[in-house]
Structure formats: structure tokens, C-alpha cells
Structure 1
Amino acid sequence: MYNKKFWKQVLIALALFLAGWFTFGSAQAQGKPEKSKVTIAVGGKNLFYYLPLTIAERLGYFKEEGLDVEIVDFAGGAKALQAVVGGSADVVSGAYEHTINLQAKGQQYQEFVLQGRAPQIVLVVSNKTMPNFKSIADLKGKKIGVTAPGSSTNMMANFVLAKAGLKPSDVSFIGVGASAGAVAAMRSGQIDAMANLDPVISMLTQKNEVKIASDTRTIKETQTVFGGNMPSGCLYASVSFIQQNPNTTQAMANAMVRALKWLQKAGPSDIVKTVPESYLLGDRALYLAAWDKVKEAISPDGMMPTDGPHTALNTLQQFDPELKGKAIKLENTFTNNFVQKANAKYK
């Protein structure tokens, strides 16, 4: 006659077996990541533009998907792009429009999860060096700070200049990064204007050090500037990497979609507790006020908007001579397949 202790041990063993079996079954359904160690290059990780990436990292979502992710931070998106093209990174967390520029150069890269549905980039003009600023045309011959030459901040500035009849060569672009160095460059008078993002922009506007010339922190403002929905931060990689590592790509999309959904429900205190102290730039209240201005720009589900790729291409064509006469296949620059599966898994 078996005692109660024996049967209890049998039931525990059975429960552990079933739990393991179901876990194995669900892992088999998606498939183990082909490449568990992944390097992601990013340009200005502290910016709200890339906040979903930080959330996925800090909350352990990448690890829970079976990934060991190393995030390498650069001064701007153009530098992060160079890392992936050069082979020192697998994936970029950067602006979607780079996939279009790369295709024009014969290189096939694809976005697979969207982080932002508005660029969040703001063009501001110095009250110190340009107190009499009236219009964008006044920027001719001036020094404009961007996170890094060739980055999305540079592209946004180029587009705003083009709408005012100015060419990129009519101004001087200077890389100032995306944190305290950018603020210092503006305050010291090294630059006359700057295209940058929050919390940098809010640090300068709170003390009336700059005038806002063009703003894309909300969906409405973005549509006014670009004439449609403009996709912004995303994860993108070479088409060959995605084809060779579909499970790894799916795992990254899963982690990012979880982060996007977390951000939709998170309160200010949740965010402050999760991000590194350095992100606050020494002013917690300012950081949260800045977050309030840009939270609408964060994608709720990682999906590329239908008109997004066309808006991005149209924007680039206004000032980029390399796109003249090039037949761009926009359908090859993005995919929603991984995001759709991620949303089915994390509702």
C-alpha cells in the first residue's frame, strides 16, 4: 500500500514532466534561434526614439526569447548603419528610411519591427546666435547640429530645408550626438540650429534657449510636415540575415512587441524605474515631461503603416540625388510577417 507521500511525489514528478513537455512543444512551434548571440547597433540609445529597445533589454525580454543580445551605442544612426554594413553588428535599431537608401546603392536590407510611428525629431534654432530668426530660409550659410551626418536627424533637416528652397550644401552639418554634448554645442554657440530629439530638445526649450522651427513628435505634426504617416525607429537587418535566421528574427520581434505593449500601459514611475539613471540627464521631472510629449509616437504593435514606406520615399526624393531615376521596390524594404506572429503570441 503506497502512502500519501509517495503519491504526492508521483504527482509532482508528473506535473514537472508535463510542464517541460508543454514548454518544449511551444519552443518547437517557433523554433530555436539559429543565432542566439546577436549584436544590435543603435545611434543614441538614451533617446525616447529607441526606448522600446531599452525596455526589451532591461526587462529581460530578449533573454526570455533565448537571445543573448549585445547593444552597441553609437553617436548617430548613420554610424550604427556603418556597423551592420561593415559586419560588426547583425541588426540596426535605427531609422526605416536607411533601408531605402541602401537599396538605391544595391544593398538589400529589411525592417521587421517598427518602434516609432512618428520621427520625434525637432528642428530648433538658437536664440543666442539667431535672435531674429523668422523662417527656414534664414538658415542659409548656418551651422546645423545633427546626431551624426547622414542620420535620420540629418535627413529630416534636409527635407525641411528643401521645402524652403534650400539644398543640403547651403548649410554646414555638424555631428553633436544625442545627449549632453548636443546641449552643450547649442548653449556654447557652436551651432546655429539643431535637429535632435527628446530629452535633449526639452532641456533646451524649457529655458527658452531655442525656437522650434519644425516638430514631428506627434502623429498630427508628422503628417503636417511629411504629408503622411512617417515610420521612424525600427529594427532592420540584411535580407540575407533574416532569411538565414528566421527564428532569431522572430525572437527579436517578439521581445520588441512585448516592450511596445508594456510601454502602452506603463506609468511615468514605471519608466523612470526601468531606464538607466543616465537617461534622465540629471532632471527626472524634465524627462517625464518630455516623455509625455512623445509617447504617442511609440508604435503600439510594431506594424508598418500602409502609407509609411511611400511617405519615406517621397521625403528622401526631395533632396537625395542618389534616388533620382532609381526604381525602388518598397515591398522589399519591410515585412510585417514577424510582427503579426509576435502580436498573436503577446496580446
Structure 2
Amino acid sequence: MRSIFKVSAAAVSGVLALTALTGCGGNSADEGKNSNKVKIMVGGLDKVIYMPAMLTQRLGYFKDQGLDVSLLTEPAGVQAETALVSGDVQGAVGFYDHTLDLQVKGKHVESVVQFSHAPGEVEMVSNKAAGDISSPKDFKGKKLGVTGLGSSTDFLTKYLAVHNGVKTSEFTPVAVGAGQTFVAALKQGSIQGGMTTDPTVANIVDQKLGKVLLDMRTPAGSQAALGGPYPSSSLYMNADWVDGHKATVQKLANAFVKTLKWMSSHSPEEIAAKMPADYAQGGKTLYAQSIKSTLPMFTTDGVMPANGPETVEKVLKAFNPNLKNATVDLSKTYTTEFAKKAH
């Protein structure tokens, strides 16, 4: 171990300049000369689980480090991963589990700042289907929403099914994104339940469209559902880029760790006030409540939690044929070097 604008993954190269939410953009030659220019793709900027990305920008911590960071957004973490692997961005904010999946595919990607020690995910069930689904044992024959096929919500849903005796072939994962698209799918009955995050969870409960089946927004919830800490949202980057731009990566870690510390010492209402107003689609009070429900998932130091990688490996190997018999070098999937120096 080393110490909201949807953009199709295929077209991301041509639209990065148009979708950048901060910074001035610039061509690759300019970025080669100035490594303080960084593009980061987020698997849903308005999701509370990825809140540290936008919050760091809003607090001015990137600028304080002399960084020119462009934040971009995709509806699912798997699409953020695609943008990173293709070289269109230098970093991705998404789930740590992608680093394991990519390693067995021959890609060396590592988490450099670990935002969380729990998934922050919630398995919801529609009110109409609540009588038929009381636990993951009842997933058989159901259509369950995930942000995207191959996404971390897809991974976790499959694990919960297999762990409870349901084969992955016995239910249907449906890519419905998050936010209004997830809510619409639940309303229309195209899914009976699904995995999502706040503020979508808060809106579903507020609209009385469904209820919480499994809550993994806290370390205790992660322990109960997955058997241990589950490091999820993180800043992950190509290891070769990290090795060649250590000063820049350290500045990113400094900014993100400062944000995590700030989050731990401020109220949900204070945090909500710093975020873009249009993120609070259900109103300020409901948005602050969604932040309060999700805050327990975040680390305060950006360091990978002990035994976290092992839990993720166990979960992925339970259902993923690519990983089941593969040897994964967990020490190459993350580094604590930068987060520890940020202290």
C-alpha cells in the first residue's frame, strides 16, 4: 500500500468544455503545461453521497490550493469511471469498488481521498410492492432500480440478492438513474423498488411513494447489511497520473480533507446553505434532512477505513464472475499517502 447535466460517456470528450461547472477549460496541451488544471467527473453532483466535490468548490478550497478544477457530472458512477479510463478527465468522484473491478480488467486506478466508510445507499420499496418485499429474500422476480448497469448500486443490489439466496438471474436490474427519473419509475410501477441515495430517498418518503427497506447510510447500517465498513464515495485517479503529478494530487487531498473536517463541525442546515439552491428540489428543510441522514457515512480525515477494502472485495466476489476467482492486490486500489499528509 502506498502511504445536472447528463453527458453520454461516448460523447464526453466533445462536451467537456460546455459542461464544466468551474474553471476555464483548456486543451490538453495547456493542461500538460499547467498540472493545476484538473477535470473531475462526478457520478451525480447533486447526490449527497458525492457532496464533498461541489462543497469543496463552494467553500473555495480548490482555489485556496491554487487549483483550477472543473467539476462535471454524469448520472451514474460507472459513467464517471468511463470518462476517467478514457483519459477525458484526470479524476473521478465515485465508489471505491470501481478500482477493484478495473484492476482485474488490467487498469490501475486508485482511491486517493476516501470520503466515506459506508455506502450511503438505501434500498427502497414502493408502497404498492411493500407487501411483497420485506427483505432481499423477496427480490426474486422483481424489477429493481439502479443508477446504471455496472454501477455500484447494481453491484450492491446483486450482493444483497445473492447473500440472501436469490440468483442474479432471478431478478431484473433496471437503469433508472437518480432523482426525478428514479421517482418517476417508482410512480409508474416500472420498478418495484431500488437502490438510491439522498436527496432522492427523502423525496420518495416525503411524497409517500415508498419506504426504506435497508438503510446503509451509517457504519452500523453497513455492518448489518454488508458485514463491515464499506468505503464508497472517493476521489479516484489513474495511478500513473498520480505518480506523475504528486504535487497536484496533494493539493486536491488538502482541499478535500479540509472539506470533510468542515462538514464534521457544521450543521446540516449550514452545509445545505453552501450548496447550489437547485439541489434542494424538495425544499430547503427536506434537503437539510437528507444531508443529516447521510452525514454519518463520511470520514473526517479522507483515510481508507481499516478492513474496508476487504469488505468491498468480499461483496464483489460474491456475485461478480470476473472477480470471483481473480487475485486482487488491494494495496494497489488505494493510497493513504496524500490524505495523511493533508492533516
Per the normalisation by structure 2, the TM-score is 0.87
- Amino acid aligned to 1:311: T
Aligned to 1:17: none
1:255 aligns with 2:219: no
Question: Taking structure 1 as reference, are residues 282 and 136 closer, same or farther at Cα in structure 2, changes over 3 Å only?
Answer: closer
Spell out the pairing of 1:12-91 with structure 2 (5 A cutoff).
35-91=35-91
Aligned sequence identity (%):
35
The higher radius of gyration belongs to 1
**Contact 1:231 1:305 (C-alpha < 8 Å) held by counterparts:** yes
Aligned to 1:20: none
Moved more, 137-146 or 195-204: 137-146
Aligned to 2:230: 230
**Contact 2:268 2:289 (C-alpha < 8 Å) held by counterparts:** no
Aligned to 1:275: 275
| Partner Cα separation in structure 1 for residue 84 and residue 306 of structure 2 | 27
Gaps of 5+ in 2: 1-32
Once the two structures are superposed, what CA deviation does each residue of 1:266-303 show, in whole Å capped at 9, x if it has no partner? 12332122101111113211111222211111111101
State the SS of the aligned residue for 1:250. Answer: helix
Shift of 1:34: 5.8
1:328 aligns with 2:306: no
Q: Show structure 1 runs of 4+ deviating over 4 A.
A: none
Spell out the pairing of 1:131-146 with structure 2 (5 A cutoff).
131-146=131-146
Once the two structures are superposed, what CA deviation does each residue of 1:202-255 show, in whole Å capped at 9, x if it has no partner? 211234422322210111111111111110100011110100110111111111
Spell out the pairing of 1:139-158 with structure 2 (5 A cutoff).
139-158=139-158
| Partner Cα separation in structure 2 for residue 38 and residue 133 of structure 1 | 44
| Partner Cα separation in structure 2 for residue 127 and residue 204 of structure 1 | 10
Once the two structures are superposed, what CA deviation does each residue of 1:108-136 show, in whole Å capped at 9, x if it has no partner? 11111011111110111112245433332
Aligned to 1:121: 121
RMSD over equivalenced CA pairs, Å: 1.5
- Amino acid aligned to 2:309: P
Question: Taking structure 1 as reference, are residues 326 and 132 closer, same or farther at Cα in structure 2, changes over 3 Å only?
Answer: closer
1:204 aligns with 2:204: yes
State the SS of the aligned residue for 2:319. Answer: coil
- Amino acid aligned to 1:330: L
**Contact 1:34 1:247 (C-alpha < 8 Å) held by counterparts:** no
Aligned to 1:166: 166
- Amino acid aligned to 2:285: A
| Partner Cα separation in structure 2 for residue 324 and residue 153 of structure 1 | 19
Question: Taking structure 1 as reference, are residues 241 and 309 closer, same or farther at Cα in structure 2, changes over 3 Å only?
Answer: same
**Contact 1:100 1:330 (C-alpha < 8 Å) held by counterparts:** yes
Aligned to 1:98: 98
Aligned to 1:109: 109
- Amino acid aligned to 2:65: E
**Contact 2:318 2:324 (C-alpha < 8 Å) held by counterparts:** no
| Partner Cα separation in structure 2 for residue 301 and residue 127 of structure 1 | 39
Gaps of 5+ in 1: 1-32
Once the two structures are superposed, what CA deviation does each residue of 1:118-160 show, in whole Å capped at 9, x if it has no partner? 1110111112245433332322222111111111111111111
**Contact 2:39 2:91 (C-alpha < 8 Å) held by counterparts:** yes
| Partner Cα separation in structure 2 for residue 135 and residue 62 of structure 1 | 43
Tell me the number of residue pairs that the alignment of Structure 1 and Structure 2 aligns. Answer: 311
**Contact 1:52 1:256 (C-alpha < 8 Å) held by counterparts:** yes
Aligned to 2:186: 186
Aligned to 1:293: 293
- Amino acid aligned to 2:154: N
**Contact 1:39 1:91 (C-alpha < 8 Å) held by counterparts:** yes
State the SS of the aligned residue for 1:111. Answer: strand
State the SS of the aligned residue for 2:342. Answer: helix
State the SS of the aligned residue for 2:125. Answer: strand
Question: Taking structure 1 as reference, are residues 226 and 34 closer, same or farther at Cα in structure 2, changes over 3 Å only?
Answer: farther
**Contact 2:272 2:291 (C-alpha < 8 Å) held by counterparts:** no
**Contact 1:118 1:217 (C-alpha < 8 Å) held by counterparts:** yes
Aligned to 2:9: none
**Contact 1:34 1:248 (C-alpha < 8 Å) held by counterparts:** no
| Partner Cα separation in structure 2 for residue 324 and residue 199 of structure 1 | 33
| Partner Cα separation in structure 1 for residue 263 and residue 135 of structure 2 | 36
| Partner Cα separation in structure 2 for residue 282 and residue 324 of structure 1 | 41
- Amino acid aligned to 2:314: N
Shift of 1:182: 1.3
Once the two structures are superposed, what CA deviation does each residue of 1:183-216 show, in whole Å capped at 9, x if it has no partner? 1211121211110001101211234422322210
| Partner Cα separation in structure 2 for residue 42 and residue 140 of structure 1 | 32
